[in-house]
Amino acid sequence: MGSFFKFSTFILSDSHISFGEIRVSIIFIPHINMQRRKFLKVLGSASPALFAPQLMQASSASFIGPVVISTWAPNVKANAEAWRALSNGQNALEAVHQGVMVPESDPDDNSVGYGGLPDRDGAVTLDACIMDHLGNIGAVMGLEQIKHPISVARKVMEETPHVQLVGEGALKFALEKGFQKENLLTEKSKALWESWLKKSNYDPLQSIREIEKRIRENHDTIGMLAIDAEQRISGACSTSGMAYKIHGRVGDSSIIGAGLYVNNRIGAATATGVGEDVVRICGAHTIVEMMRQGYEPKEACRIALERLIELKGEDYARKTQIGFIALNKAGEVGCYSMLPEFSMAVRDAEAEYVIQAESIFSSDLK
Ligand code: GLY
């Protein structure tokens, strides 16, 4: 059953990609609703919305096994760390926390943590959030000089009566908790910012497209979801946000319900891309609610993207990029994006691999 659900029967064509010592398959999957059919067979019904509670039971009953998923192919490295935590008996919360710390420490990753591209004033400002299987949440926004915003978000969750801390308050809190101030602006990111300053043209889509062109060495925001052996689901999300943003801008990655959402009875979702548009449709929460209605993770991601088209029109949607990933209580996973080039890294008991997401539009050039 495991290989059936983990898409290996869906391979149309495959190739490989390497990240350091990790070499993984890239899998292209067609839009076949096999998982959904399986659910409906369990339910004996063709109406997902009417049978949501039973579906949740069916999902629980057919648990495939633990899995970790992340936005973007290079996060196979982050998944490996998360999987190590799960393999050592740690829970999904520990797994996503430790996994997300990997790109946060990586100076070559210029969209997360240390080495992240700065805002237009030259400040690296970080957003992150975390959510566990009990509905506990924590987030930091606009945090500067702290390499691991996900760890500060977790402290907010576990050691304060609040759920979000912002800017100077978040930094003060982090320092009180023993985090060390560091310069997060690497020479490489500084040089890119100085080059941008010459024209000072802010174009979120262009930033994302440039990142996608460099996808084999780089990526955008990390959103990570995990389900452990006891079917506890957790998620974490971390970013330096849109390059050259206005100082003080916050995207989706620290907004619970937009960049990340977990409902331990249903599943979880997380996002990457233009944060303004993810916030506009409460992306991650919408996906979880679609899974509650019985949609498989991939379909749920697509439906959330369609909400943006409904809200802002096709011309608008063609000029933005959003990538969603999701998993449900059974451990099934899926992804979808507005424009091409988005990918999801997957790690389970059988393999580590990358799924190239299908997209709503084939190009943003029309
Ligand atoms: N998705 C990251 C951001 O817009 O900040």
Residue 86 lies in domain: 10-33+55-356
Question: For 321-330, what is the mean pLDDT?
Answer: 97
pLDDT at position 110:
86
Q: Across all residues in the chain, what is the average pLDDT?
A: 85
> Which atom, in ligand 1's list, is nearest to the CA of 276?
4
CB neighbour list of residue 59: distance below 8 Å, 6 or more residues apart = 39, 267, 328, 329, 330
Residues 260-299: tens digit of each pLDDT? 999 999 999 999 999 999 999 999 999 999 999 999 999 9
Q: What is the count of structural domains for the chain?
A: 1
pLDDT at 258 over 80: yes
Decide which of 12 and 253 is more confident: 253
Question: For 232-259, what is the mean pLDDT?
Answer: 96
pLDDT at position 201:
78
Distances (CA, A) of 197 to 118, 123, 213, 247: 11, 13, 21, 14
Residues 72-84: tens digit of each pLDDT? 999 999 999 999 9
For ligand 1, is residue 241 a contact (CB within 6 Å)? yes
Q: Residue 331: name the closest of 85, 133, 60 by CA.
A: 60
pLDDT at 247 over 80: yes
Catalytic residues: 221
Decide which of 27 and 147 is more confident: 147
Whether 364 is covered by a domain: the verdict is: no
Whether 111 is covered by a domain: the verdict is: yes
Whether 86 is covered by a domain: the verdict is: yes
What is the value of pTM for the model shown? 0.85
Cα angle value 42/43/46 (rounded, 5°): 120
Pocket test for ligand 1, best of 278, 280, 281, 342 (most atoms within 8 A of CB): 278
Whether 81 is covered by a domain: the verdict is: yes
pLDDT band at 213 (very low <50, low <70, confident <90, very high): low
Residues 29-64: tens digit of each pLDDT? 543 333 423 332 222 233 333 333 334 433 444 999
Whether 363 is covered by a domain: the verdict is: no
pLDDT at position 54:
37
CATH number at residue 105: 3.60.20.30
| SS3 of residue 358 by DSSP | coil
Instruction: Tell me what percent of the residues of the chain surpass a pLDDT of 90.
Output: 73
Distance 327 CA to ligand 1 centre (A): 21
pLDDT at position 360:
97
Whether 291 is covered by a domain: the verdict is: yes
Whether 88 is covered by a domain: the verdict is: yes
CB neighbour list of residue 220: distance below 8 Å, 6 or more residues apart = 71, 72, 111, 208, 211, 239, 272, 273, 323
Q: Which segment of 212-221, 230-239, 291-300, 323-332 scores lowest on mean pLDDT?
A: 212-221
Distance 99 CA to ligand 1 centre (A): 19
Helix (H) or strand (E) holding 310: helix 297-312
Whether 315 is covered by a domain: the verdict is: yes
pLDDT at position 286:
98
Q: Which residue lies with its CA nearest to atom 4 of ligand 1?
A: 275
Q: How many C-beta atoms lie closer than 10 Å to residue 67's C-beta?
A: 27
